[in-house]
Structure 1
Amino acid sequence: MPGSAPLTTKDGRFGYEAAGDPASQPLLFLHGIGGAARAWRGQLDFFRDRYRTIAWDMPGYGGSAPLPDVSIAALAGALQDFLQAVGATNPVIVGHSIGGMIVQQWLAKNPRTAGAVVLAQTSPAFGKPDGDWQKSFIDARLGPLDRGETLVTLAPSLVNELVGDDPDASGMDLARDCMAAVPGATYRATMLALMGFDLRSALKAIAVPTLVLSGSKDNNAPAPMMAKMASYIPSATYVELEGVGHLANLERPLAFNAALDQFLKANVTATQVTA
């Protein structure tokens, strides 16, 4: 199977992986807080026959430079810069977890630029910055770092807490490897960027075909919440993967790819584009 290629934008700002014909429509994948571009290699290869498949390292991850101040709005601005840097015209954008929040923020300023979007295991809001649940969520994830642990030691337990039933073994190896490689400062800053995020009022304005994808065993982005989210998006298709936790593309790559493939075939006509 052909592999994806680790690349860097000409300005050196972003690291990413890509596969497929550069003249094909871009299909871009955005990872979550514990991820990396390489977490999407199974999707880059699966869809490379019809699309120019691309996965970025979010700023501060892998080969991408960190942002001076991390927020969802700043990350959405970085996404726009990345799209321009790689010449991605009329992209289909798949955002997982915080990646899906970035997509929503980007859509608010670029409502008709994408060919379609996928909001995978994400949320339209994190809630009040001073809310008890929000504080508890952040404390549970940053507390071990405050006590001197590292993501290298925490990765196995963090990944185990995220997944559902019978996850793919190789996918779990990759998930742990990605989590362990996240710099502690990046993990902390990106986690804190969740605080105050709320685009629930913008869901009704999403004007492109949208797949809202959940896992029935996902405790971070629960399926009932995601089903409700989909009900507010005029063009949404909702899919729930049974037995899947928060890392669908790594836990059940065949099911994830099939759901995405079905959505793309029904809603996107892959085209040759000129960067």
Structure 2
Amino acid sequence: MTTIALLHGIGGASWSPLKPALAFAPVLDWPLPGYHGTPMLAETSFAAWAEALRERLDRDGIPRIDLLGHSIGGMLALDFALRFPERVRGLVLYATTPAFGGRDPAFAEAFLRDRLAPLDAGHDMAALAREGMPPMLRPGTPAERVEEAVAAMAGTPEAAYRATVRCLTTFNRRDDLAHVAAPTLLIAGETDPLAPPRTMERMRDAIRDARLVVLPGCGHLAHLEDPEGFTGALLTFLRRLREG
């Protein structure tokens, strides 16, 4: 049975609605280095992260994976699939983009200032999570799901968060999309401002035989906002992989 690897976003892992649906297969919930009690690497980069994930698979004796990445985890999933295509049977890119948004260095500098300003002003990660996470979920999302997202981000060490946000601004695989070898599913939230459907449509068109599912009314955390719709799209894709 192929292992399903989950790569979370900058806010940390909040996969609880997904885990029961994946009970049929082994699941590797792999935290970004520095998250969930893991040590940071000497270098925070996509190349270093991808190598660390490959080493984890080797250590656990996992030859191939079905790889699902959310947001920056989707960027890492894309990067990993390009670096180690022989290790990826299927690829799910969720609420993510093929490159950081701005080509102008001034855009990255402004982005970093905005993202890190609350921490620079003395706020802690709990305050950052309480302020920033709820608006990312659509109105009506169950309170326990909102709290799960807030708690995941609040528990992220500040040093890991800062390094990960900076790493985000370095990402650019836009010109490599045609080289993705694995069958690919893209999942977008209809109202996601960070990875809007139009951006993911362009990704789909650039990746050979990729499929895109847009979940109505969802924002950046569709697996918490609409667990049934999200798991339905994911399980359909995984079933097609099993059936060949």
Give the TM-score category using the shorter length.
over 0.9
Structure 1 residue ranges, 4+ long, deviating more than 6 angstroms after superposition: none
Task: Report % sequence identity.
Answer: 36
SS at match of 1:115: strand
Task: Determine the structure 2 residue equivalent to 1:42.
Answer: 17
Task: Determine the structure 1 residue equivalent to 2:71.
Answer: 97
Alpha-carbon separation, structure 2, partners of 1:165 and 1:255: 16
Unaligned runs of 5+ in 1: 1-23, 271-275
1:32 counterpart = 2:6: no
Q: How does 1:1-275 map to 2 (within 5 A)?
A: 24-36=1-13, 39-49=14-24, 51-128=25-102, 130-269=104-243
What's the CA shift for 1:113? 2.1
1:165 and 1:243 in contact (8 A); partners too? no
2:134 and 2:150 in contact (8 A); partners too? no
The one-character-per-residue Cα deviations of 1:211-230 (angstroms, maximum 9, x if unpaired) are 01110111111111011111
SS at match of 2:64: coil
The one-character-per-residue Cα deviations of 1:28-68 (angstroms, maximum 9, x if unpaired) are 111001113xx12332221112x112211211001321112
Which stretch of the first structure deviates more once superposed, 127-136 or 198-207? Answer: 127-136
The one-character-per-residue Cα deviations of 1:163-222 (angstroms, maximum 9, x if unpaired) are 224223221111010010001111000000012311011100111110011101111111
Task: Determine the structure 2 residue equivalent to 1:14.
Answer: none
2:138 and 2:217 in contact (8 A); partners too? yes
What's the CA shift for 1:129? 6.5
What's the CA shift for 1:127? 4.5
1:155 and 1:179 in contact (8 A); partners too? yes
Task: Determine the structure 2 residue equivalent to 1:5.
Answer: none
Alignment-mate amino acid for residue 111 of structure 1: P
1:59 and 1:75 in contact (8 A); partners too? yes
Task: Kindly indicate which of the two structures has a greater share of residues assigned to helix.
Answer: 2
Alpha-carbon separation, structure 2, partners of 1:109 and 1:169: 39
Number of aligned residue pairs: give it: 244
Change (3 A) 1:154 1:79: same
SS at match of 1:42: coil
Alpha-carbon separation, structure 1, partners of 2:141 and 2:164: 26
SS at match of 2:86: coil
Alpha-carbon separation, structure 2, partners of 1:131 and 1:161: 27
Unaligned runs of 5+ in 2: none
Root-mean-square deviation over aligned CA pairs = 1.6
Alpha-carbon separation, structure 2, partners of 1:169 and 1:117: 30
Alpha-carbon separation, structure 2, partners of 1:232 and 1:170: 37
Alpha-carbon separation, structure 2, partners of 1:192 and 1:144: 15
Alpha-carbon separation, structure 2, partners of 1:132 and 1:165: 33
